[in-house]
Structure 1
Amino acid sequence: MATLWIFILTGAVIAFFWFSRQFAESAKQHAERQAERLQVQLLSVACQKRRLGILRSGKPGIKSQFMFEFSSDGETVYQGSLYLENSHLLKSDIPPHRIS
């Protein structure tokens, strides 16, 4: 019976890692779209928070917050935030920035 629990736990950890990678790729795509829409240069995307929770749809899933850095003039760096539920973008916070 203990072996079964070890397999279940190992499978859960692998699944969490696999889904986390998918959501990170999704966040990168969302950040690229935001940068393209704002006509700025995307510099980096990083995960700030990730947790299991109940999504707005009522189903269990992973809630994530990603930070992305961008530059509008090549000298100044700004940080925006993306809030995702699984791979769906809920909202984005983009700070005021210089338009070149």
Structure 2
Amino acid sequence: MKKLGIAVGTALAGGLATTVIGLAAPALAAPSGPGSAQDTISSLQAQGYKVIVNRVGTTPLDQATVVAVRPGQAYAGVDATGGDYLATVAEKTVYVDVK
């Protein structure tokens, strides 16, 4: 029974390590410096991102501060014209946490 416990524990630890490594995505180049959450959101939208805002509180976005900017899903399509396959990013999503 002890061998089974060690095997399960090792598998669980390996799975957790893989999950943590998979979640370690590179940070986005979010606008920095003084400015409101609305400035950050507008700048990201101008760069082509679909912005999803997670809010804490009821402060207007032009007075709120950005707590975090996190990468989201990118959607791509494949164009097969002329025998060549070309993947194009159709939409990039980013999550902006504000308070």
Q: Greater RCO between the two (CA within 8 Å, min separation 6)? A: 2
Pick the structure with greater CA Rg: 2
For the criterion TM > 0.5, the same-fold answer is: no
TM-score, normalised on structure 2? 0.35
The structure whose residues are more often strand, as a share, is 1
